[in-house]
């Protein structure tokens, strides 16, 4: 570590800091009576584009670096940020965080301790077949235009818009238990919307794509422009959905949205501790049909929430949240696991070095069953097939939710007939888990950024087709 560096270096060379360079912080922590600290360094490069009707609206490339220190004592936290990777700045930033930790500790009514982590040194590198950082903006734009142009196979497509971003970043995490972790990560993400019009009505449909890895991950998105346009055109023949109670089938995208938004956030232990979850005091209880199994799994390499280690340096793990309808685990950070007397699950995630880690999901999904879609449609006979989502609302305290569907189909005698728009599903989260009767045998997933506490992190959500009975559907 160069202690005399005065300028912020914004190249993408590896961060030249090793564990021995940070040993002095453990002595400083003892001197300042800090029970726990972690320091997180980051250096990265982000590219973003916005396109409208195949014309670039905006483009940007950002390169930056910085670090943060989180200090803890007697239940009180302090947090401070710095931008120069030298001993003087790191020391000053540590003192700022320590001062805040001691100040906040005086207001803590129930002090607790952070459980000790293993002393180890590890490095994790997300493989890239084609470096996203070394791929030219022209090449990225050409691929996006090719995907966007797919939508214009039909003259009824009047407009498209695309928002794209990619990131290549190196992180270092170090704590007072001498844990040192280096993580090199990268990903691509975009959303494309196609707008169709027949002169009388206008309809839109969006698709998204996110993958961990290099530029090759964008190639996997070929075909999505056509898919978005096809659904937008199909919706021109839609009718406003009727309201009432229906037997329904959720497609994997809508199933995943429900599992992530309506259920997954209630299983994050910080919300449980603060009394903002319907799952408080329910470990070991039946909360769903015995065929319901829900998992948070960061090890799925093709999913957007793939993550080998969290922002606190904890190795991630596959966590079975619900098994055979029984709630058996919450998702944990170091703090929540310490407070609840259990092991951390590697779900302490921050959107960047200047944000505090929170309990966050990775890839969360309903595990498959043994039915195929044709069998489910035959069993349903008459009802609705509900497809994808547009937006939604959830209340983890009350356990209520409402999701606006992208589209729905009327099912008559097991066959799709009329297409509907403006349909919404609403109800009680645990009631829905108990109404699941059939579960499909194949998982699909959706990629996106999950928002919580003003932060956004990459996640995957998904599941199979599922059938539910007597669900409330809002429409006309």
Give the tens place of pLDDT for each residue, 314-363.
Answer: 999 999 999 999 999 999 999 999 999 999 999 999 999 999 999 999 99
- Kindly report the average pLDDT of the chain as a whole number: 94
Is the pLDDT at 367 greater than 90? The verdict is yes
Domain count, the chain: 2
Under the banding of pLDDT at 50, 70 and 90, the label for residue 6 is very low
Same domain, 79 and 215: yes
- Please report whether residue 7 resides in a domain: no
Is the pLDDT at 9 greater than 60? The verdict is no
pLDDT of amino acid 3: 40
pLDDT tens-digit map of 275-291: 999 999 999 999 999 99
- Please report whether residue 11 resides in a domain: no
Distances (CA, A) of 311 to 117, 353, 452: 14, 9, 15
Rounded CA separation 408/316 (Å): 37
Under the banding of pLDDT at 50, 70 and 90, the label for residue 219 is confident
- Please report whether residue 14 resides in a domain: no
pLDDT of amino acid 7: 38
CB atoms within 10 A of CB 173: 23
Cβ atoms of 349 and 457 within 8 Å: the answer is yes
- CATH number (domain holding residue 204): 3.30.2290.10
- Please report whether residue 8 resides in a domain: no
Same domain, 341 and 438: yes
Mean pLDDT of 80-86: 97
pLDDT tens-digit map of 159-203: 999 999 999 999 999 999 999 999 999 999 999 999 999 999 999
Q: Is 1 exposed, middle or buried (0-12, 13-18, 19+ CB in 10 A)?
A: middle
**374: which 2 tokens?**
């044709």
Cβ partners under 8 Å of residue 139, min gap 6: 215
pLDDT of amino acid 346: 97
Q: Which domain holds residue 72?
A: 19-237
Q: What is the DSSP string of 395-432?
A: ETTTTEEEEEEEEEEEEETTEEEEEEES-EEEEEHHHH
Same domain, 254 and 354: yes
pLDDT tens-digit map of 127-146: 999 999 889 999 999 999 99
Residue (of 177, 32, 28) closest to 101 by Cα position = 32
**373: which 2 tokens?**
């879609």
User: CA 466, 460, 144, 151: dihedral to nearest 10 degrees?
Assistant: 10
Same domain, 49 and 192: yes
Same domain, 233 and 327: no
Same domain, 207 and 326: no
pLDDT of amino acid 10: 42
């Amino acid at each position: 570590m160069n202690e005399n560096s005065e300028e912020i270096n914004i190249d993408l060379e590896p961060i030249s800091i090793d564990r021995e360079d940070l040993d002095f912080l453990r002595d400083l922590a003892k001197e300042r009576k800090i029970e726990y600290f972690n320091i997180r360094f980051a250096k990265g490069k982000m590219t973003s584009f916005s396109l409208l009707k195949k014309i670039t609206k905006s483009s940007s490339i950002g390169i930056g670096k910085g670090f943060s220190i989180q200090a803890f004592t007697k239940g009180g936290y302090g947090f401070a940020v710095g931008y120069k990777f030298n001993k003087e700045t790191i020391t000053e930033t540590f003192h700022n965080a320590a001062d805040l930790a001691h100040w906040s500790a005086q207001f803590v009514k129930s002090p607790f301790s952070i459980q000790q982590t293993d002393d180890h040194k590890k490095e994790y590198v997300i493989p890239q077949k084609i470096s996203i950082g070394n791929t030219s903006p022209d090449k990225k734009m050409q691929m996006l235009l090719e995907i966007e142009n797919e939508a214009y196979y039909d003259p009824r497509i009047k407009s498209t818009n695309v928002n794209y971003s990619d990131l290549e970043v190196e992180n270092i995490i170090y704590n007072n238990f001498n844990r040192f972790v280096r993580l090199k990560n990268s990903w691509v993400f975009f959303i494309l919307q196609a707008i169709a019009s027949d002169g009388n009505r206008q309809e839109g449909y969006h698709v998204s794509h996110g993958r961990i890895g290099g530029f090759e991950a964008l190639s996997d998105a070929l075909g999505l422009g056509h898919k978005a346009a096809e659904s937008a055109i199909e919706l021109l023949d839609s009718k406003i959905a009727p309201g009432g109670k229906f037997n329904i089938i959720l497609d994997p995208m809508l199933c995943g949205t429900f599992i992530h938004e309506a259920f997954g956030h209630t299983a994050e232990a910080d919300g449980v501790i603060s009394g903002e979850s319907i799952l408080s005091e329910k470990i070991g209880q039946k909360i769903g049909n015995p065929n319901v199994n829900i998992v948070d799994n960061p090890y799925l390499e093709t999913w957007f929430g793939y993550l080998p280690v969290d922002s606190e340096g904890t190795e991630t793990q596959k966590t079975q949240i619900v098994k055979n309808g029984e709630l058996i685990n919450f998702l944990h950070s170091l703090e929540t696991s310490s407070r609840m007397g259990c092991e951390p699950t590697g779900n302490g995630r921050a959107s960047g070095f200047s944000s505090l880690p929170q309990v966050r999901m990775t890839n969360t999904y309903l595990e498959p069953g043994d039915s195929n879609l044709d069998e489910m449609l035959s069993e349903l006979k008459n009802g609705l097939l509900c497809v994808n989502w547009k937006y939604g609302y959830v209340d983890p305290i009350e356990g209520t939710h409402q999701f606006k569907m992208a589209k729905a189909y009327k099912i008559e005698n097991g066959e799709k007939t009329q297409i509907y728009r403006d349909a919404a599903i609403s109800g009680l989260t645990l009631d829905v888990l108990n109404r699941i009767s059939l579960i499909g045998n194949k998982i699909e997933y959706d990629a996106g950024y999950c928002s919580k506490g003003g932060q956004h992190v990459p996640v995957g959500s998904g599941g199979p087709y599922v059938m539910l009975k007597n669900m409330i559907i809002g429409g006309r």
